[in-house]
């Protein structure tokens, strides 16, 4: 088994930089923003808390996460929350507890299918409605669930990502409602990965998630890696609703937690507890971050579009997912007939690091790429604060330089 493609590209970027090679880092999905000073202070305050604490998470964190969800129209009790070292291991434990097969959006985040493969479980990709990544097309979901049933391997769950990684798009409320209806018809648990939910670019946009529509059958995961750029703190939470069929799933996830990670780092949990209460300095920091991600993602989409790619307008998070199908004729003489060769060509000839669509479960012959935009903000905190402060961050010289390199490379294809 190879290292997860998203982490592998990060190491490749570092390797190229160390060799003094030029690199435009669009591969790794890290938020790349400074830690808010109040969080640094909160973590320092709790640094002496060195006991393991409760497996399911420290009481203040579970209470704060319950409040966070309840404020979003998803009534939650602290007992329904399980904390973990990131939402990634929590998702793994949830997949393990539910068993397969699991229905995934196609394309979708690299680790869902990989985690199921490690578990020896089947996952099946279901295409999304165009422009609405992260949520399987409800009609196709219905068909896939029927087929699996007929083959005597009924699916256990369907996963959704709102907003989406890799496409950066946000499914409409109508699609989310219809997906929940189909899930109910087939008695599927919905796993709702909402790690980008606080990063919807337009604060006035109406976004709903399965957690709001079907709170009794939905397991929700989130964390602070994206909204507060705390990926390296490794903290995430899952909401596994109580009082019904999911009680054994929560017990099983807690049991896996006890055998794999014992509990997340205690000081991090206590600082995260404060963050989940959504104090004002953090709420405005997230709003600024979201605005920055939106502006730079849209500027990147515009550059890719003017070079001839098809790109859905990003609506949340910090990704765009260009399809270079209109350039196929120009790429054929270079032996580029699918996403792996395309990503390789951009990296080797132009120093542009992206990930091929195939890493996200897309068909290998498609010319799709996952482009992550935050590493354009720069490698120093000074540049990142400047990006957060700028009215037009896409015009800052170091961000413009990255975008110009992309425009030049695609133009030269």
Ligand X SMILES: Cc1ncc(COP(=O)(O)O)c(C=O)c1O
- The H-or-E segment that residue 352 falls in is strand 352-353
Q: Judged by CB under 6 A, does residue 107 bind ligand X?
A: no
Toward ligand X, which CB reaches closer, 53 or 223? 223
Q: Which two tokens stand for residue 246?
A: 């999911």
173 to each of 153, 214, 253, how far by Cα in Å? 30, 13, 29
SS3 content of the chain, % helix, strand, coil (to 5): 50, 15, 35
From candidates 63, 132, 193, 198, binder to ligand X by CB under 6 A: 193
109 binds ligand X (CB under 6 A): yes
Query: Looking at beta carbons only, is 30 or 142 nearer to ligand X?
Result: 30
Q: Is 4 in the site for ligand X (CB under 6 A)?
A: no
Would you say 101 and 121 are in contact if contact means Cβ atoms under 8 Å apart?
yes
DSSP code for 375: G
The residue among 96 and 193 lying less far from ligand X, judged by its C-beta, is 193
Which x/- pattern, by CB under 6 A, does the window 222-241 give for ligand X?
Answer: -x-x-----x----x-----
307 or 358, CB closer to ligand X?
A: 358
Per CB under 6 A, the segment of 42-50, 86-94, 272-280, 323-331 that binds ligand X is 86-94
Q: Output DSSP code: residue 239.
A: E
User: If binding is defined by CB under 6 A, does position 355 make contact with ligand X?
Assistant: no
Q: How far is residue 382's CA from residue 377's CA, in Å, rounded to a whole number? A: 10
Q: What is the nearest approach in angstroms of ligand X to the Cβ of residue 379?
A: 19
Cis before 399? omega within 30: no
**Based on CB atoms, which residue is closest to ligand X, 188 or 195?**
195
Rounded-to-integer distance, Cα 134 and Cα 162, Å: 6
Q: How far is the CB of 162 from ligand X (least distance, A)?
A: 10
Residue 368 bridge partners (DSSP): 323
Interface size with ligand X, residues (CB under 6 A): 13
d(CA 345, CA 342): 5
> Which range of residues in 82-90, 258-266, 292-300, 365-373 is near ligand X by CB under 6 A?
82-90
Radius of gyration of the chain (CA): 21
User: Segment near ligand X (CB under 6 A), from 61-69, 81-89, 249-257, 297-305?
Assistant: 81-89
Determine which residue in the list 88, 217, 370, 383 makes contact with ligand X, applying CB under 6 A.
88
Q: Does 315 bind ligand X (CB under 6 A)?
A: no
End-to-end CA distance of the chain: 33
Question: Which region, judged by CB under 6 A, interacts with ligand X, from 53-61, 84-92, 199-207, 238-246?
Answer: 84-92
Judged on CB neighbours under 10 Å (0-12, 13-18, 19+), 245 is exposed
Q: What would the DSSP string read from start to end of 285-328?
A: HHHHHHHHHHHHHHHHHHHHHHTT-B-PPP-BTTEE--B-GGGH
User: Per rule CB under 6 A, is residue 264 in the interface with ligand X?
Assistant: no
Among 25, 53, 57, 86, binds ligand X (CB under 6 A): 86
Residues 118-177, interacting with ligand X (CB under 6 A): 161, 165
Residues that bind ligand X (CB under 6 A): 29, 86-88, 109, 161, 165, 193, 195, 223, 225, 231, 236
């Amino acid at each position: 088994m190879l290292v997860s493609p998203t982490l592998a590209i990060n190491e490749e970027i570092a390797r190229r930089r160390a060799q003094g090679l030029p690199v435009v880092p669009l591969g790794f999905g890290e938020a790349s923003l400074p830690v808010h000073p109040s969080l640094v202070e909160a973590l320092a305050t709790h640094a002496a808390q060195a006991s393991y604490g409760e497996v399911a998470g420290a009481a203040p964190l579970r209470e704060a996460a319950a409040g966070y969800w309840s404020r979003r129209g998803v009534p939650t009790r602290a007992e329904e929350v399980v904390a973990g070292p990131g939402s990634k291991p929590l998702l793994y434990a949830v997949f393990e507890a539910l068993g397969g097969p699991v229905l995934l959006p196609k394309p979708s985040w690299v680790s869902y299918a990989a985690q199921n493969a490690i578990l020896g479980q089947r996952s099946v990709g279901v295409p999304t409605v165009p422009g609405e990544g992260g949520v399987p097309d409800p009609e196709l979901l219905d068909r896939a669930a029927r087929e699996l049933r007929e083959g005597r391997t009924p699916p256990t769950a369907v996963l959704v990502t709102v907003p989406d990684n890799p496409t950066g798009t946000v499914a409409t409320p109508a699609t989310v409602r219809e997906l929940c209806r189909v899930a109910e018809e087939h008695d599927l648990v919905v796993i709702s990965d909402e790690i980008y939910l606080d990063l919807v670019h337009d604060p006035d946009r109406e976004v709903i998630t399965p957690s709001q529509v079907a709170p009794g059958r939905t397991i929700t995961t989130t964390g602070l890696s994206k909204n507060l750029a705390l990926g390296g703190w490794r903290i995430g939470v899952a909401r596994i609703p109580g009082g019904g069929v999911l009680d054994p799933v929560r017990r099983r996830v807690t049991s896996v937690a006890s055998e794999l990670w014992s509990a997340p780092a205690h000081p991090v949990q206590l600082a995260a507890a404060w963050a989940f209460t959504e104090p004002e300095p953090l709420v405005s920091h997230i709003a600024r971050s979201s605005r920055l991600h939106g502006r730079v993602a849209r500027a990147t989409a515009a550059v890719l579009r003017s070079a001839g790619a098809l790109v859905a307008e990003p609506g949340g998070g910090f990704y765009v997912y260009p399809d270079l199908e209109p350039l196929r004729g120009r790429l054929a003489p270079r032996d580029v007939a699918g996403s792996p060769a395309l990503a390789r060509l951009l990296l080797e000839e132009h120093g542009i690091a992206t990930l091929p669509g195939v890493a996200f479960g897309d068909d290998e012959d498609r010319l799709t790429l996952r482009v992550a935009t935050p590493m354009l903000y720069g490698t120093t905190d000074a540049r990142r604060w400047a990006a957060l402060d700028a009215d037009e961050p896409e015009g800052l010289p170091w961000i413009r330089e990255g975008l110009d390199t992309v425009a030049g490379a695609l133009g030269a294809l």
